[in-house]
């Protein structure tokens, strides 16, 4: 049996998908994989130059947006739907990480982490709902973190709270939006992206003893957005090399 993942091209043929955080890391890897699988993409990020790069690689439309800003998200969702002729799926991968002891964490940092990571998922999903409701087989995937399941290290209060919030937000959305729209969370462990710089040596508590390539997370997201995941909703899928059980 081959160790290579199966590749059935066209699993997202004709699907219109919004990917946030598309300028970098997991969002960019997701956009690249989804484009290869036939999706048409609206790429959301606040980083214009990174977005332009992903747009050039995928043929997607680049839309500069701050996912924590209501007006910015509303305008971006309108533009995406107009350009694609509707929206069938949303991947919420935009996020930030701020680490530090509680006493040294200003309230402003706490609020910023919650606003981007948690409120951002809610705002982008809500902004896209009018079109998702018209689609058939619509799906939302929110990217949380293994820290949202098991925050077992110091310095994570804001980040872990935001990601635990994403896990439970996903369940609440899955309950409310069923049966029309499936909503799931992917909880990655450490992934080889700019966000993980400085943490790369810390793999001792991972069963697989290595960090993930962003494409390995993108393939899990593909499963959940595509018809392959048609009976999965409200799940928090740990794609963490065994961090959360090891
Ligand atoms: N890299 C990891 O080890 C890891 C582990 C677990 C979870 N995650 C989560 O995966 C998601 C993607 O992270 P990544 O590793 O690809 O990080 P990354 O830093 O490479 O990419 C994050 C992207 O989000 C964008 N972004 C940040 N704030 C934004 C805002 N307000 N509006 C619009 N765009 C914004 C950034 O510009 C960037 O392009 C995040 O939610 C992160 O918390 C990452």
Q: Is residue 246 part of a domain?
A: no
Q: 184-202 pLDDT, tens per residue?
A: 999 999 999 999 986 665 7
User: Domain total for the chain?
Assistant: 1
Two tokens at 64?
Answer: 């500069």
Q: Is residue 149 part of a domain?
A: yes
Q: Is residue 92 part of a domain?
A: yes
d(CA 54, CA 123): 23
Reported as type and span, the H/E element at residue 181 is strand 181-188
Q: Is residue 225 part of a domain?
A: yes
Q: Is residue 210 part of a domain?
A: yes
Question: Whose alpha carbon is nearest atom 1 of ligand 1?
Answer: 191
- Mean of pLDDT over the chain: 95
Known catalytic residue: 231? no
Q: 16-55 pLDDT, tens per residue?
A: 999 999 999 999 999 999 999 999 999 999 999 999 999 9
Residue 237's DSSP bridge partners are: 186
* pLDDT value for 179: 98
Residue 2 Cα to ligand 1 middle (Å)? 32
Q: Is residue 87 part of a domain?
A: yes
* pLDDT value for 2: 40
* Chain centroid to CA 26: 7
Domain range for residue 206? 16-239
Q: Is residue 54 part of a domain?
A: yes
Query: Who has greater pLDDT, 5 or 63?
Result: 63
Catalytic residue among 122, 159, 206, 223: 159
Task: Tell which residue, 191, 168, 180, 166, has the closest CA to residue 27.
Answer: 191
Asked whether the CA dihedral 22, 182, 236, 159 is positive or negative, the reply is positive
Q: What CATH code is carried by the domain that includes residue 31?
A: 3.40.50.720
CB 212 within 8 A of CB 191: yes
Residue 94 Cα to ligand 1 middle (Å)? 4
**Distant-in-sequence, close-in-space partners of 117: CB < 8 Å, separation ≥ 6:** 95, 96, 159, 162, 163, 165, 166
* Ligand 1 atom closest to Cα of residue 26: 16
Task: Provide the whole-model pTM.
Answer: 0.96
Q: What is the CA radius of gyration of the chain?
A: 17
Two tokens at 146?
Answer: 């293994």
Task: Tell which residue, 231, 117, 217, 119, has the closest CA to residue 174.
Answer: 231
Q: Is residue 39 part of a domain?
A: yes
Ligand 1 pocket, CB under 6 A = 21, 23-27, 45-47, 50, 65-68, 93-97, 116-117, 143, 145, 188, 190-191, 193-196
Strands 89-92 and 138-143: parallel
Q: 108-167 pLDDT, tens per residue?
A: 999 999 999 999 999 999 999 999 999 999 999 999 999 999 998 899 999 999 999 999
The 61-64 sheet, strands edge to edge: 61-64, 40-45, 16-20, 89-92, 138-143, 181-188, 236-239
């Amino acid at each position: 049996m081959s160790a290579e993942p199966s590749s059935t091209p066209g699993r997202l043929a004709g699907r219109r998908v919004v990917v946030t955080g598309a300028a970098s890391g997991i969002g960019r890897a997701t956009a690249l994989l989804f484009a290869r699988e036939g999706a048409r993409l609206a790429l959301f990020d606040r980083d214009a130059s990174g977005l332009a790069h992903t747009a050039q690689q995928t043929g997607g439309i680049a839309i500069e947006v701050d996912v924590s800003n209501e007006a910015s998200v509303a305008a971006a969702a309108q533009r995406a739907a107009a350009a694609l002729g509707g929206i069938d799926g949303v991947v919420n991968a935009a996020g930030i990480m701020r680490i530090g002891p509680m006493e040294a964490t200003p309230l402003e940092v706490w609020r910023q982490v919650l606003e981007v990571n948690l409120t951002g998922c809610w705002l982008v999903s809500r902004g896209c709902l009018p079109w998702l409701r018209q689609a058939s087989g619509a799906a939302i995937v929110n990217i949380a973190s293994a820290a949202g399941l098991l925050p077992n290290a110091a310095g994570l209060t804001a980040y872990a709270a935001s990601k635990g919030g994403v896990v439970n937000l996903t369940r609440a959305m899955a309950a409310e939006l069923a049966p029309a729209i499936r909503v799931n969370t992917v909880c990655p462990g450490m992934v080889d992206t700019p966000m993980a710089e400085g943490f790369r040596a810390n793999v001792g508590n991972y069963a697989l003893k290595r960090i993930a390539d962003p494409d390995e997370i993108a393939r899990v997201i593909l499963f959940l957005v595509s018809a392959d995941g048609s009976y999965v909703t409200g799940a928090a899928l740990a794609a963490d090399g065994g961090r959360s059980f090891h």
